[in-house]
Amino acid sequence: MLAVATLSKSFRGLRAVHAASFSVPEGSIVALIGPNGAGKTTIFNMIAGVHTPDSGEITLLDKRIDGLRPDQVCAAGIGRTFQLVKPFAGLSALDNVIVGALHKERSVAAARIHALSILKKLNLDSKAHLNASSLTLPDRKRLEVARALATRPRLLLLDEVMAGLRPTECDQIVAVFRELNRAEGLTILLIEHVMRAVMALAGQVVVLHHGEVIARGAPQEVVRDPAVLECYLGEETEV
Amino acid sequence: MKLLEGVPRRGAILLAALLALLIVFPMFASGYLLAVGFLILYYAYVGQAWNIMMGFAGQLSLGHSLYVGLGAYAAAALYVHFGLSPWIGLGASIALCALAGAVIGFLAFRFGVGGVYFAILTIAFAEFARIGFDHFAWVRGSSGLFLPVANYTENDLWNLRGSPRMFYYLMLALTVGAFVLCHALLRSRMGYYWLAIRESPEAAQALGVNLFRYKMVAVVLSAAMTSLAGVVFAFYYNNLFPEQIFHISRSIELILGPIIGGIGTLVGPLVGALLITGLAEGMRELMLQLGIDVPGVKQVFYGVCLLLVVMFLPEGVWPPLAKKLRLDR
């Protein structure tokens, strides 16, 4: 579904991503992991249209999407969340999701119905009329997801939605994504530090280090890969 | 009633009562009170128009006097030079102001000028117009453009020549129209997108909102609506001076209403205009009665009002008032 080919990006000479390639097959859940500063969010932002790549290609369903604006990327079928949540603070949770739902729905009334069903899916329906600013952090993270889902994306980009959640909250939201993936065939690409979520969710893991892909494969294999262990824990030395 | 969709029952009753009061007001008001009433409606209307840009779409304009002035000058000049009815002239006013808004919006939004810098850009255009019109001979430059005045026995609505009462009702119609329009807009896709842009442009864009398009619509619509107030202003006062109408103090005056009433609310511009104009005129009258003559007292009064609101009611007067009246749903 999504293919990233030899993608590179530098910021004022600082090489953030270098010749990164990976793909996300339709219906799969792929996790992008790596230490801080590995370039995960930069790749995300290039896919989402926030940054334009210096070189390389991004294709969604065989159409080039690199260089498009974020709203055009959304129209192409990609929904995203932000690592630092960006709720429409002055609006109710429901209105937040309606904004997303209006992307595909013709009328506000239809968007409201769709938004309510999404809120229910994420167990936010009891808080639909609360101001987004009064929600707790876990709820705000779920609201991010609800808004993105409301645009009816083919591919969902999740930027550290589990960070800061308690293990039980994390398990709940993992269950929601599994269900969306299983029942609706939603393809998911996630950046995640919480390995508990990665192991439970991802069918495939791509490991990034210093802007380069150093490993990819099933989660159980990747965590045993010496190169991966090295980048997280440092090189093994004889004492 | 589709118009009243989403308006709580008590709110609808209060609005109807307010409207009835405003309709019968001229029958009891003296000439002076009628003039104050006109000013209140005038500020309520332009406040509402400005609120579309700032309150809904989050784009701060500090140069709305540009649209008042351009609208006023366009219709007045066409009337003075060609005897064209202001109802035809307002077409030119709307077109001119929509164009001016589009140019400012294009320059700002295409090149990523936002926040404070956008506000400065709007001031720059208003100042540019003020200085330009000072030297614009066709509209008599700095010596001012005057509309022919006579004693009218009958109201000539077609040429907007007539009694203050006629202007009062005209302004009332505009204010009601703007209120209904804004109410409908807030409940539309456009309204949702504006609020989303105001709250977080990045998040809105990620949800498929074309920022440029929706911000442009807000600026152009706000400019076009403001131009109508300019037309009425010109035919009500019958004289136009660039130094006055384009002056930055005018831009500030017309945004005080919505700021004090409550930015981004529908009722805020009305409440704010009523408070600020009502109190300012009331105080002026009081000073007159007491025989105190202090120049600039109105400006000081505005300043104090603003200070009090910022300190104690940062959301404006209306939101807490609405809560008290249980109109906030």
Residue A177 near chain B (CB below 8 Å): no
How far B42 CA lies from chain A's nearest CA (Å)?
29
The predicted model scores a pTM of 0.93
Residues of B in contact with A100 (CB under 8 A): 207-208
Q: Is residue B155 a part of any domain in this protein?
A: yes
- CB A108 to CB B204 under 8 A? no
Q: Is residue B329 a part of any domain in this protein?
A: no
Residue A98 near chain B (CB below 8 Å): yes
Q: What is the CATH number of the domain that holds B130?
A: 1.10.3470
What is the CA angle A32-A36-A39, rounded to 5? 55
Distance separating alpha carbons of residues B282 and B33, to the nearest angstrom: 10
Model pLDDT, residue B191? 97
Q: Which domain holds residue B217?
A: 31-324
**Gyration radius of chain B's alpha carbons:** 20
Residue A182 near chain B (CB below 8 Å): no
Q: Which residue, among B110, A43, A164, A82, has the nearest Cα to B118 in the 3D structure?
A: B110
Rounded (10°) CA dihedral A37, A42, A43, A44: 110
Q: Could you give the C-alpha distances from A35 to A233, A234, A235, B69, in angstroms and in order?
A: 10, 11, 15, 59
Number of domains, chain B: 1
Residue B2 near chain A (CB below 8 Å): no
Q: Is residue B22 a part of any domain in this protein?
A: no
Least confident of A23-37, A145-159, B279-293: B279-293
Q: Is residue B1 a part of any domain in this protein?
A: no
Residue type, B286: L
Model pLDDT, residue A197? 86
Q: What is the pLDDT of residues A12-39, one digit of tens each?
A: 888 899 999 999 999 999 999 988 888 9
Q: Is residue B12 a part of any domain in this protein?
A: no
* pLDDT for residue A236 is more than 90: no
**Which stretch of DSSP H or E encloses residue B89?**
helix B86-110
- CB B206 to CB A148 under 8 A? yes
The complex scores an ipTM of: 0.92
Residues 122-151 of A with CB under 8 A from B: 147-148, 150-151
What is the CA angle A25-A29-A32, rounded to 5? 100
Q: Is residue B160 a part of any domain in this protein?
A: yes
Residue B201 near chain A (CB below 8 Å): no
The single-letter DSSP state of residue B161 is: B
- CB A89 to CB B199 under 8 A? yes
- CB A80 to CB B196 under 8 A? no
Residue A70 near chain B (CB below 8 Å): yes
* pLDDT for residue B179 is more than 90: yes
* pLDDT for residue A231 is more than 90: no
B195: nearest CB among A71, A91, A103: A91
A88: nearest CB among B195, B205, B208: B195
Mean pLDDT of A157-186: 90
Average pLDDT, whole number, for chain A? 91
Model pLDDT, residue B262? 94
SS3 A51: coil
Model pLDDT, residue B328? 64
Residues 158-197 of B with CB under 8 A from A: 187-189, 192-193, 195-196
Model pLDDT, residue A235? 65
Residues 204-223 of B with CB under 8 A from A: 204-211
Residues of A in contact with B199 (CB under 8 A): 87-91
A86: nearest CB among B188, B200, B208: B200
* pLDDT for residue B1 is more than 70: no
SS3 A213: strand
Distance separating alpha carbons of residues A191 and A73, to the nearest angstrom: 18
Q: Is residue B178 a part of any domain in this protein?
A: yes
Q: Is residue B219 a part of any domain in this protein?
A: yes
Model pLDDT, residue B21? 94
Residue A63 near chain B (CB below 8 Å): no
**Which stretch of DSSP H or E encloses residue A8?**
strand A2-11
Strand order in the sheet with A155-159: A78-80, A155-159, A187-191, A29-33, A204-209, A212-217
Model pLDDT, residue B157? 86
Distance separating alpha carbons of residues B227 and B92, to the nearest angstrom: 10
Distance separating alpha carbons of residues B195 and A119, to the nearest angstrom: 20
Transcribe B264-328 into DSSP letters: T-SSHHHHHHHHHHHHHHHHHHHHHHHT---TTHHHHHHHHHHHHHHHH-TT-SHHHHHHHTT--
